[in-house]
Amino acid sequence: MKSEKIKELTMLGMLTAIVVLLQLVVRIRFGVFSLSTVLVPIVIGAALYGVGAGAWLGLVFGAVVLLSGEAAFFLGLNAPGTIVLVIVKGVACGAAAGVVYKILKKKNDKVAAVAASIVCPVVNTGVFLVLSMVFFNYDLRYVLTAFIGVNFFIELAVNALLSSTIIFLIKKAKTTH
């Protein structure tokens, strides 16, 4: 039991480092937004270690976005609103991935992995849209078409493919050892 907890904390630490590195190093930009490859380790952590791990990795994602200058444009418009938006969307997408995975894994582990990897970017973008309207009074159609449309679909596809595949491979490796 104790060694399992140590393994879990070690993996969560590594996933945390991967979140930071992906957010700081991998930059695929679309205007003021970046494609978030960082959602992949968030979904993996949520699936393997639960809702709390997903929320933690999402929190780290949000903190790095704020500290790295990624949100500078929005901070200039409304700093408190930007801080709430970035942190809430990060925590929510990680926690949602964990909840969906936990609910669906009882029926089918593969379906649970795919669903969690789809829910994460949907929640990330959805919370961004809702809180953007709350804090920045942007018209939803403008935000959706001008900034999010292409970015969201690419992010969704990348996340669904990579996250679910990696989760499946990790689970397979665990059962063979």
Instruction: Give the start-end residues of each E strand in 16-131.
Output: 29-30, 33-34
Please list the residues that pair with 29 across neighbouring strands.
34
CA dihedral 49, 54, 60, 63 (to 10 degrees): -170
pLDDT in tens, the chain (177 residues): 788 889 999 999 999 999 999 988 876 765 555 566 899 999 999 999 999 999 999 999 999 999 998 889 889 889 999 999 999 999 999 999 999 999 999 999 999 999 999 999 999 989 988 898 888 876 656 665 666 667 788 888 888 888 989 988 888 887 776
Nearest to 33 by CA among 157, 122, 155: 155
**What is the pTM (predicted TM-score) of this model?**
0.88
